[in-house]
Amino acid sequence: MRKHLSLLAASLAAAIALTACGGAGKSDDTTSSNGEENTRIVVGASPVPHARILEYVRDNLAAKAGIEVEIREFDDYVLPNSTLADGTLDANYFQHLPYLEAEIADKGYRFSHGEGIHIEPYALFSSKFGSAAEVTDGATVAITNDASNQYRALKLLEKAGLLTDVTEGTSVLTLTPEQNPRGLTFEENQPEIIIQVKDDPAVDLAIINGNFILTAGLSTEGALEVEEVAGNPYANFLTWRTDDAKPAVAKLDELLHSDEVKEFIRSQWPNGDVTPA
């Protein structure tokens, strides 16, 4: 009798163990409409427009493609790459090629990236002047301290007729009197801070990244000057670790280039504040 009870107990224990293992396996995955297991990935992104675009993919396209997307939002341009490098993220979506190349050169990241998904044009704002023609000599400009975007900002000032002969590598520290005939002065700061000082009495002009324009509820329609979109080299893309390229990341990159996403971008930002690449 004891032998029979022992065998029964062992069988029950084995059954429970198998059930527990099966349950644990399903807790990490869900099932897509075609019956295949989804693969879960964690993606870091700026809140607007990147996270909003990812939310559209997550809610409308991901399950059918067999992936599950978790979105983590970042308000700065440093953490998305450092947390990708340490393995916290599987991919990020917030940056363009000049910025990524500068980050790789500075920090030694081993990252790869997809093709451009969208462009957010840089814009020049002022709470004091109604047009670039009204800007007075010696005006103070709030500008990013990020080298790749600072060149971009200086080119926008050149487009507005406030600087001349800006060449690649030009910075606020190397501008000559010939390049800066209006004697503009510059206050460098982190890009996420520029939007906060836009209306500061000490600031006459502020050059703001597109995603921070959107986060603040502004529009390029209220800007003095806006960057051209045609031929723009600053398209944002998906980035991942070179030595850990997950198939689900490749599938997400494919979805981000789909016609559905392009149409979503056009419908959400019809004035061109975000434009498909």
Which pLDDT tens digit goes with each residue over 21-71?
Answer: 333 333 334 444 444 446 999 999 999 999 999 999 999 999 999 999 999
Which pLDDT tens digit goes with each residue over 112-126?
Answer: 999 999 999 999 999
Identical fold, 40-121+233-276 and 123-226: yes
Beta strands 91-96; 236-241: pairing state: antiparallel
Residue 169: the pLDDT is 87
User: Which strand (E) or helix (H) includes residue 103?
Assistant: helix 97-107
Q: If you search the block for the tokens 């996403």, which residue do you land on?
A: 261
Residue 28: the pLDDT is 39
**Whole-angstrom distance, CA of residue 153 vs CA of residue 148:** 9
Residue 155 has pLDDT above 90, yes or no: yes
> How many of the other CB atoms lie within 10 Å of CB of 190?
13
Q: What is the mean pLDDT of the chain?
A: 88
Query: Are 235 and 119 contacting, i.e. CB atoms less than 8 angstroms apart?
Result: yes
* Residue extents of the structural domains in the chain: 40-121+233-276, 123-226
Which pLDDT tens digit goes with each residue over 228-257?
Answer: 999 999 999 999 999 998 999 999 999 999
User: Which strand (E) or helix (H) includes residue 54?
Assistant: helix 52-60
**Whole-angstrom distance, CA of residue 277 vs CA of residue 275:** 6
User: Is 3.40.640.10 the CATH classification of the domain at 123-226?
Assistant: no
Structure tokens, 264 = 């979503």
> How many of the other CB atoms lie within 10 Å of CB of 8?
10
Domain 40-121+233-276: CATH class, spelled out: alpha beta
Long-range pairs of 169-174 with CB within 8 A, sequence gap ≥ 24:
171/147, 172/143
**Whole-angstrom distance, CA of residue 51 vs CA of residue 273:** 15
Report CA torsion sign: 33, 73, 79, 103: positive
Instruction: Output the pTM of the full model.
Output: 0.82
Which pLDDT tens digit goes with each residue over 204-224?
Answer: 999 999 999 999 999 999 999
